[in-house]
Structure 1
Amino acid sequence: MSSPEPKRSFKMSPLSAVLFGSRWLQLPLYLGLIVAQIVYVVLFMQELGHLIERLPQLHEADIMLMVLGLIDVVMISNLLIMVIVGGYETFVSRLNLNGHPDEPDWLSHVNANLLKVKLAMSIIGISSIHLLKTFINVENLDDKTLIWQTIIHMAFIASAVSIAWIDRIMAHPDSHKEH
């Protein structure tokens, strides 16, 4: 068993130390997102309680709408976790989870671009749930609402495809040059 490598000491100018240390100003933001995560857990439990409580009176479409609402909360919560863990790891400090059995696969190769693509895909998932809820409840909505929600959803898809395409070009710039 080899001993861990000794840490090297780095000499930084005072300005460099302040600039580099300023990344820790993001810590309260990530802690605030953890509080928001707690709020979503409470919301999920309340909505699940309403579903169970009202189950005898509900029709299948109503159950489906409520379950989609629960899925929506879970997807937003997943988005929060990606931002909290991935953002902290990318912009503040390493979490040093190497070898931990619960370390997310994506965390080992997370960077700002991958985080943007994952966030865009999560937003599409959340938008898809909202659009599906709209389609299920279509008889209670006007055409304008349906059209605008579809346009907004398509804009999210176009944005995510663009972000992924740009990320791919940036990752492999030589493969996209014309010969």
Structure 2
Amino acid sequence: MPPEYEFRGQEFAGILRPRIAKEGTVVTTRERNYGGGVIGALKKFEGGIESLLFNGRWLLVPFYLGLLLGLVVLVVKFVQEFIHLASIALDASLKDTTISLLELLDIVLLANLILIVIFSGYENFVSKIAVAQDAEDRPSWMGKVDFSGLKIKLIGSLVAISVIQLLAVFLEPDEMNTDHVFWMIIIHLTFVVSGVLFAVMDFIADKRAIIDIAAEKAALELQILEKEHGFEKGYAAKLDPTGQ
């Protein structure tokens, strides 16, 4: 891609938007040479700070490695629960078997959630996972879950886990504590409402982004027509007063 262009809105049809100054000249995004002296020194200092901040994203790696080790712990707990279920399979009632299976399902959902956070978080905030780019077993969602999608998947998994917890409690009515169940329902509804609000906010943000990109594209086309063909001179400036 030529350096004279910057990419805006990868998810919206790949619009290439030249950066045009008020005089109609193309402003490149190449790094400018600010020369020596105080200004040059300040720019070098600024570049060093920006490089430090950019590379600081690697400080997140230990967090994701810790989550990966957490998956190992979940595997151990899953094996323990499965061994317990297998040991009582012949003598346990259907209710007890169902509760044990719900506990296994709870662990599986939590493990899936951790894996999504690891992959999506690493690719969104640290670096692309190069070894998985052409892998045959690459998950279909990998590389497609941005920060907004990660929030939705996170809250969705929490809702599913809370439902399983509620179902396990309802299967044991004799041991049910009214206050405990009440707060579990409140927490579950809080997760549900939060998920709906997240989805609505993301929908509004996506619509706004589409409108902004369409407006930029229209203003750019008018500027090009005005410059090359004298089409309604000054109309583009009225549409985009900033002249950008």
Q: TM-score under structure 2 normalisation? A: 0.65
RMSD over aligned Cα atoms: 1.9
Whose Rg is larger? 2
Which residue among 13, 20, 34 is the counterpart of 2:54?
20
Corresponding letter in the other structure for 2:84: H
One-letter amino acid matched to 1:149: M
Distance in 1 between the 2:84 and 2:169 partners? Answer: 20
Shift of 1:143: 1.6
Residue 90 of structure 2 is aligned to residue 56 of structure 1: yes
Distance 1:62 1:160 in 2: 31
- 1:15-164 correspondence runs (5 A): 15-96=49-130, 97-164=132-199
Runs of 4+ in 1 over 3 A off after TM superposition: none
Q: Percent identity?
A: 35
Task: Work out whether residues 122 and 128 of structure 2, in 8 Å CA contact, stay in contact via their aligned partners in 1.
Answer: yes
User: How many pairs align?
Assistant: 167
| 2:148 alignment partner AA | N
CA displacement 1:28-63 (0-9 Å, x = unmatched): 010000110000001000100010012222111000
In the TM superposition, residue 81 of structure 1 has moved relative to its aligned partner by 0.1
Which amino acid in 1 is paired with 2:158? I
Unpaired segments ≥5 residues, structure 2: 1-30, 32-43, 212-244
Q: Structure 1 stretches of 5 or more lacking a match?
A: 1-9
C-alpha separation in 1, matches of 2:69 and 2:48:
34
Q: Secondary structure at the match of 2:129?
A: coil
Q: TM-score, normalised by structure 1?
A: 0.87
1:166 Cα offset (Å): 0.6
